C-alpha cells in the first residue's frame, strides 16, 4: 500500500477548529499516516491522540514552520503531490491513472484561499466535482477511490473495537486488564 501524507494549509484559529479535527480523523481512517499542519490548537491534537489511544492505529500530527520546505522535500523524492481543489480535473477522469502510478502521495487540502504556487507545485490539481462543498468530504472521497474501499476494512487493533451490528451498539474492549469482575 502506498504511503499517504496530508498537508493541511490555511487553518484559521477557532474558526477551523472542528473542520481540521474532522479532517485529521478522516485522514486517519481512510489510510493516511500523518497530517502536517503549520499551527493548530493543542485541543485538536489532543482529540486525535484520544481517538488513537482508544481506537488504535498509528497516526501523527506534525507541526512545521514552513510548508514550502515540506513540499520541496517531497518533490525531491519523486513522490506525487496532489492538491484537492474544486478548480481541478474531475477525479472520475484521473483516479485510475494516479493509482497506477503506485507512488507515495502528499495530499494538499486547503482552507479557503490557497496560494497560486500550490496549483503550480502540485503534480495534479484534482476536483471532487467542480462545485463548492467540503474539504473533509473531498479528502474522504479521494482516499476511498484511491484504495477502492479496502481502507474501510483495516484492523486498527485498538483498545476499543466495534462489532458491526444491524441495530445495536456493540463495543469490545481488549484491555490487558480483565474487566469481567
User: How does DSSP assign 14-53, residue by residue?
Assistant: TTTHHHHHHHHHHHHHTT-SEEEES---HHHHHHHHHHHH
33 binds a second copy (CB under 8 A): no
Site of grid cell 486498527: 156
115 binds a second copy (CB under 8 A): no
159 binds a second copy (CB under 8 A): no
Binding-residue total with a second copy (CB under 8 A): 54
Q: Which is nearer to a second copy, 64 or 162 (CB)?
A: 162
Secondary structure letter of residue 54 according to DSSP:
H
Which span (1-9, 36-44, 71-79, 133-141) binds a second copy, by CB under 8 A? 133-141
Inter-residue contact 161 to 172 (CB < 8 Å): yes
**Residue from 42, 153, 175, 178 binding a second copy (CB under 8 A):** 153
Angle (CA) 76 29 100, round 5°:
45
Inter-residue contact 127 to 87 (CB < 8 Å): yes
Q: Which of 37, 55, 33 is nearest to 45 (CA)?
A: 37
Secondary structure letter of residue 57 according to DSSP:
-
19 binds a second copy (CB under 8 A): yes
The least distance separating a second copy from the CB of residue 76, rounded to whole angstroms, comes to: 21
Per-residue binder mask for a second copy (CB under 8 A), 53-92, x = binder? --x------------------------------xxxxxxx
- Interacting residue ranges for a second copy, rule: CB under 8 A: 15, 18-19, 22-23, 25-26, 28-30, 51, 55, 86-92, 119-120, 124-125, 127-134, 136-137, 139-141, 144-145, 149, 151-154, 156, 161-162, 164-171
Amino acid at each position: 500500500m502506498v504511503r499517504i501524507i496530508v498537508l493541511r494549509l490555511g487553518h484559521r484559529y477557532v474558526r477551523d477548529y472542528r473542520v481540521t479535527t474532522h479532517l485529521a480523523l478522516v485522514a486517519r481512517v481512510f489510510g493516511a499516516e500523518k497530517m502536517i499542519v503549520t499551527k493548530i490548537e493543542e485541543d485538536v491534537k489532543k482529540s486525535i491522540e484520544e481517538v488513537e489511544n482508544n481506537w488504535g492505529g498509528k497516526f501523527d500530527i506534525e507541526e512545521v514552520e514552513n510548508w514550502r520546505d515540506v513540499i520541496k522535500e517531497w518533490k525531491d523524492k519523486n513522490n506525487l503531490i496532489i492538491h484537492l481543489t474544486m478548480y481541478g480535473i474531475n477525479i472520475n477522469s484521473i483516479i485510475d491513472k494516479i493509482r497506477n502510478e503506485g507512488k507515495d502521495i502528499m495530499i494538499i487540502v486547503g482552507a479557503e484561499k490557497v496560494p497560486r504556487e500550490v496549483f503550480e507545485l502540485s503534480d495534479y490539481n484534482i476536483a471532487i466535482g467542480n462545485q463548492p462543498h467540503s474539504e473533509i468530504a473531498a479528502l474522504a472521497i479521494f482516499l476511498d477511490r484511491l484504495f477502492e474501499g479496502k481502507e474501510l476494512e483495516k484492523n486498527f487493533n485498538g483498545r476499543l473495537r466495534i462489532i458491526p451490528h444491524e441495530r445495536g451498539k456493540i463495543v469490545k474492549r481488549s484491555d490487558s486488564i480483565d474487566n469481567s469482575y
